A and B are shown apart, each in its own frame.
Chain A
């Protein structure tokens, strides 16, 4: 997987702030003022917040259970949602007419424009559920207002078992966007601790840690993942397996972070304020956590946003190898892995496009956000 966390800082747009604000602005305020100017990053932030909201409210947004199968609608194509019917606002989809072709072993569908099925917002859910696992709910954001036998609502199509791709992608966001966070959090702990030690103490400690990082990075990731994933006991429940897989993925992620942290430490440890603290008799640990870490926290946050996409991609690679997450857990990687066959590519491209689009949008947004954060965090960037 491509490593995108070790990009050098980019020169962002130059900022023209003026007036008294700047003179008195605190570090975080300054940061925000600079960030605000980076319009793409700002837009990306909005997109990301939106995606996390979708993930959080997946049960409300997804019209059906992502694991609900339907034999009538295997590989059903997307049903275009039209808002107008006969000139008035009546959201609807056209009913799909299905014929079973036993020779080619597939179901064939024709949309029938004479049979519109009404779609409504805030409709009653087929089953009660708990939003965020807490709030009991009976309403879905949208769905069929009056579902009859033979009706369907597949706005992004259905998969091989007649499951709704839209609902699956929405639910997949929960895992895919969190595997990034959890993985990155672990990388953060490992990276800051080990990188910090390496950079602060220097000498043979630094040398040993650097050799160790070089060692980890020289081992091809795929055999490493396969070996580790195969060592997970089969009896473990899916959730625990999921956690361990996240751990495995972050095993690689921390190395680049550790390098960055080390670099920062190396350049900061001879700064005046560190020497002053040391002369004050502050302990080494105290210096690290009271002075050094805060001074480059913003930079770390930026690096982390850039690390999330590589976590998401690593998870898709694991799924491809068949050692990733297991059903009934859904992630974008799982969805893409299910689309990794000639049938989907040739005859059901919606299986591919929908999760791929979700990944592309989130990876792009996170990258732009990371860029923006990094520029804003760069103290050497002029705010003249």
Chain B
């Protein structure tokens, strides 16, 4: 077991390294650099940036260096000092800007996963037990409906409905009163009142896949001889269901963590912009648009790392919970 984990960790290193290179290439792909954004900003405020200023700033930010050297500087800073560079636009170290947001992103993703599981498992069970019934088809239809409606549209529509019809304040994760306050019970309640909407919006998109998996796994188990035996012995249907098949059907669900996590995080970026959540999404999008390269690169890198860790955890959990899986 330990060997397996170690092996996976060792394999993760080249992957991480490659991710950092790809992240850096992605942000270099669009033409221009941060200074072109800056020049556009100045122009909109009635000024013009002189060539001298631009050249001096380009030198100051090291943007006149070759790309490989810029990459080397960035990655060396991360490896040796945990220094992710600075955000040109905000004039602050990247590390000061991202941890808080990364925390909210992670929290939002975890809450979404919990929500999806909490909804998908009972629906999946219902669908499997009442296979080809009206409820099975309805559940399947709804799950796919939410899959097919793009999440950005769902986010805006949900906010409009909650705001215009139910008079609820939407957007963000806190009310103004609590934004800058320290954590307290009141803030927690306030957070809960805000966070459910984005969780539902992001979660519903991933619902379909999980419902289908749960349903299929359970159907597999239900057709096995031990179920027939148990039923023949007069076990009640509910007890029969919960005792073994559901538990076994849950196992493969753990492995979905690995691919649901990237989906949730990607979906979160767009939804966060529409709903103004203090997560990495809006910051990343802005950094990409403004070509604030160290900020954008670091965010891509960290999100990728989270995903890799998520996959790793799901593999390990799977190994721990399912003794049938063997490691050489």
Asked if chains A and B are in direct contact (CB within 8 A), the reply is: yes
In the bound complex, residues from chain A placing their C-beta under 8 Å from that of B223 are 11
Contact, CB under 8 Å: A317 / B14: no
User: Does B213 count as interface, using CB distance less than 8 angstroms?
Assistant: yes
User: Does A316 count as interface, using CB distance less than 8 angstroms?
Assistant: yes
Contact, CB under 8 Å: B160 / A342: yes
Contact, CB under 8 Å: B284 / A356: no
User: Does B84 count as interface, using CB distance less than 8 angstroms?
Assistant: no
Given contacts A218-B262, A220-B262, contact A226 B148 (CB under 8 A): no
Contact, CB under 8 Å: A224 / B269: no
A360 nearest CB neighbor, chain B only: B148
Contact, CB under 8 Å: A220 / B303: yes
Given contacts A3-B209, A218-B19, contact A359 B149 (CB under 8 A): yes
B5-22: contact bitstring with A at CB < 8 Å (1 yes, 0 no)?
A: 000000100110011001
User: Does A27 count as interface, using CB distance less than 8 angstroms?
Assistant: no
One of B132, B220, B266 near A220 (C-beta < 8 A): B266
B183-222: contact bitstring with A at CB < 8 Å (1 yes, 0 no)?
A: 0000000000000000000000110110011011101100
In the bound complex, residues from chain B placing their C-beta under 8 Å from that of A228 are 26, 29
Contact, CB under 8 Å: A215 / B30: no
In the bound complex, residues from chain B placing their C-beta under 8 Å from that of A352 are 153, 157
A346 to B164, CA, bound (A): 9
Given contacts A215-B18, A320-B152, A356-B153, contact A1 B266 (CB under 8 A): yes
A222 to B265, CA, bound (A): 10
In the bound complex, residues from chain B placing their C-beta under 8 Å from that of A13 are 132
One of B15, B26, B269 near A214 (C-beta < 8 A): B15
Stretch at the interface among B47-55, B304-312, B316-324: B304-312
A224 to B288, CA, bound (A): 10
A359 nearest CB neighbor, chain B only: B148
User: Does A313 count as interface, using CB distance less than 8 angstroms?
Assistant: yes
One of B266, B308, B311 near A221 (C-beta < 8 A): B266
A349 nearest CB neighbor, chain B only: B157
In the bound complex, residues from chain A placing their C-beta under 8 Å from that of B164 are 346
A57 to B145, CA, bound (A): 27
A120 to B321, CA, bound (A): 66
User: Nearest Cβ in chain B — how far from A13, in angstroms?
Assistant: 7
User: Does A84 count as interface, using CB distance less than 8 angstroms?
Assistant: no
In the bound complex, residues from chain A placing their C-beta under 8 Å from that of B296 are 223
In the bound complex, residues from chain A placing their C-beta under 8 Å from that of B102 are none
In the bound complex, residues from chain A placing their C-beta under 8 Å from that of B148 are 309, 313, 356, 359-360, 362-364
In the bound complex, residues from chain B placing their C-beta under 8 Å from that of A2 are 147, 205-206, 208-209, 263, 267
Contact, CB under 8 Å: B29 / A230: yes
User: Does A336 count as interface, using CB distance less than 8 angstroms?
Assistant: yes
A219 to B266, CA, bound (A): 9
A365 nearest CB neighbor, chain B only: B144
A223 to B22, CA, bound (A): 11
Q: Most chain-A CB neighbours within 10 Å: which of B23, B132, B156, B311?
A: B156
Contact, CB under 8 Å: A227 / B30: yes
User: Does A68 count as interface, using CB distance less than 8 angstroms?
Assistant: no
A221 nearest CB neighbor, chain B only: B266
Q: Say which size band chain B's interface belongs to.
A: 35 or more
B280-324: contact bitstring with A at CB < 8 Å (1 yes, 0 no)?
A: 000011001000000010001001100110010000000000000
In the bound complex, residues from chain A placing their C-beta under 8 Å from that of B137 are 40
Chain A binding surface, main DSSP class: helix
In the bound complex, residues from chain A placing their C-beta under 8 Å from that of B252 are 8
User: Does B259 count as interface, using CB distance less than 8 angstroms?
Assistant: yes
Given contacts A218-B308, A218-B311, A224-B26, contact A320 B144 (CB under 8 A): no
Contact, CB under 8 Å: A3 / B270: no
User: Does B103 count as interface, using CB distance less than 8 angstroms?
Assistant: no
User: Nearest Cβ in chain B — how far from A11, in angstroms?
Assistant: 4
Which parts of A1-34 form the interface with B (CB within 8 Å)? 1-4, 6-11, 13
Contact, CB under 8 Å: B219 / A223: no
One of A7, A215, A345, A363 near B209 (C-beta < 8 A): A7
In the bound complex, residues from chain B placing their C-beta under 8 Å from that of A305 are none
User: Does B27 count as interface, using CB distance less than 8 angstroms?
Assistant: yes
Contact, CB under 8 Å: B27 / A211: no
User: Does A115 count as interface, using CB distance less than 8 angstroms?
Assistant: no
Contact, CB under 8 Å: A364 / B217: no
User: Does B150 count as interface, using CB distance less than 8 angstroms?
Assistant: yes
B297 nearest CB neighbor, chain A only: A223
Contact, CB under 8 Å: A364 / B18: no
User: Nearest Cβ in chain A — how far from B253, in angstroms?
Assistant: 11
User: Does A340 count as interface, using CB distance less than 8 angstroms?
Assistant: yes
User: Nearest Cβ in chain A — how far from B324, in angstroms?
Assistant: 16
User: Nearest Cβ in chain B — how far from A156, in angstroms?
Assistant: 17
A305-317: contact bitstring with B at CB < 8 Å (1 yes, 0 no)?
A: 0000100010011
Contact, CB under 8 Å: B263 / A3: yes
Given contacts A10-B215, A226-B288, contact A220 B263 (CB under 8 A): no
Contact, CB under 8 Å: B160 / A345: yes
User: Nearest Cβ in chain A — how far from B242, in angstroms?
Assistant: 20
Contact, CB under 8 Å: A340 / B156: yes
> What are 23 A-to-B residue pairs whose CB atoms are below 8 Å?
A1-B263, A3-B263, A4-B147, A8-B252, A10-B212, A10-B216, A10-B219, A11-B220, A13-B132, A214-B15, A215-B19, A217-B307, A218-B307, A220-B262, A223-B26, A317-B270, A320-B150, A341-B156, A345-B157, A346-B164, A356-B149, A360-B148, A362-B148
Q: Which 7 A-B pairs rank lowest in CB-CB distance, beginning with the nearest?
A: A230-B30, A227-B26, A363-B148, A231-B29, A227-B29, A10-B216, A360-B148
Starting from the known contacts A230-B30, A363-B144, 12 additional A-B residue pairs (CB-CB under 8 Å) come to A2-B147, A2-B209, A4-B208, A220-B266, A221-B266, A222-B266, A224-B26, A317-B150, A336-B153, A346-B160, A356-B148, A364-B145
